[in-house]
Chains A and B, each alone.
Chain A
Amino acid sequence: KAGVTQTPRYLIKTRGQQVTLSCSPISGHRSVSWYQQTPGQGLQFLFEYFSETQRNKGNFPGRFSGRQFSNSRSEMNVSTLELGDSALYLCASSPGTGGSPLHFGNGTRLTVT
């Protein structure tokens, strides 16, 4: 079974631009969660989508948004990039029911200059 796939692996953007990150979950998984990982803050939860609906949201500004498609693939968008948005963005999938663990992709490394 293929794992969680995130594209692109690396991105370099300029402050003020916007960016879209993509995530393909494990086949059959209906839940996709997004996390931001930085050395100082660790893993911080952005949001979770389940069956195309945002089910939970972390404490990030409205510049961070996401969506999920009918095939469970998900995208995350960050508008008006700031230097502090430089981080590893991780996508994780799970069946979304029961007590299943999260399975992570290898992330997108975003650098904002």
Chain B
Amino acid sequence: QKEVEQDPGPLSVPEGAIVSLNCTYSNSAFQYFMWYRQYSRKGPELLMYTYSSGNKEDGRFTAQVDKSSKYISLFIRDSQPSDSATYLCAMSAWENYGQNFVFGPGTRLSVLP
């Protein structure tokens, strides 16, 4: 079983739809949870960063963490064509050598006008 599982998509939705992106993980030591957005030919851009279980909202984006189920989600409201990108989930935990980051493979999202 991989440490982090993420549906690679591609996921196509019409403009204005609510998008739900999800990741599951197996390591209960993970404490920090992130979502990155990556446009073609660019590096991943940090979208959301959370520490605890629960919801965090930033504009049209909501990150949800359920540590008991080892499940994280990113919701995008009123999706726009400019949201078309690959979305990577990431999580981390402190080990004796430093902070260990693990990334999902990414979900490719297309928002159609």
| Interface of A toward B, CB cutoff 8 Å | 4, 6, 31, 33, 42-43, 45, 48, 50, 55-56, 90, 94, 96, 99, 101-107, 109
Per the CB 8 Å criterion, the residue count for chain B at the interface is 26
| Interface of B toward A, CB cutoff 8 Å | 31-32, 34, 36, 41-46, 49, 51, 88, 90, 92, 94-95, 97-101, 103-106
From B34, B36, B98, B105, A55 is in contact (CB under 8 Å) with B98
- Inter-chain CA distance A33–B102, complex, in Å, is 13
From A43, A45, A104, B45 is in contact (CB under 8 Å) with A104
Contacting residues, chain A, for B103 (C-beta < 8 A): 42-43
Main secondary structure of the interface of B (DSSP, over half): strand
Contacting residues, chain A, for B100 (C-beta < 8 A): 56
The chain A residue sitting closest to B102, CB to CB, is: A45
Determine if B99 and A99 form an interchain contact, defined as CB atoms under 8 angstroms apart.
Answer: yes
Q: A42-B105, A55-B97, A55-B98 are in contact. Are A101 and B32 (CB under 8 A)?
A: yes
From A45, A50, A90, A101, B43 is in contact (CB under 8 Å) with A90
The chain A residue sitting closest to B106, CB to CB, is: A42
Determine if A50 and B98 form an interchain contact, defined as CB atoms under 8 angstroms apart.
Answer: yes
Most chain B beta carbons < 10 A, residue from A4, A42, A48, A105? A42
- Inter-chain CA distance A90–B103, complex, in Å, is 13
Contacting residues, chain B, for A96 (C-beta < 8 A): 98-99
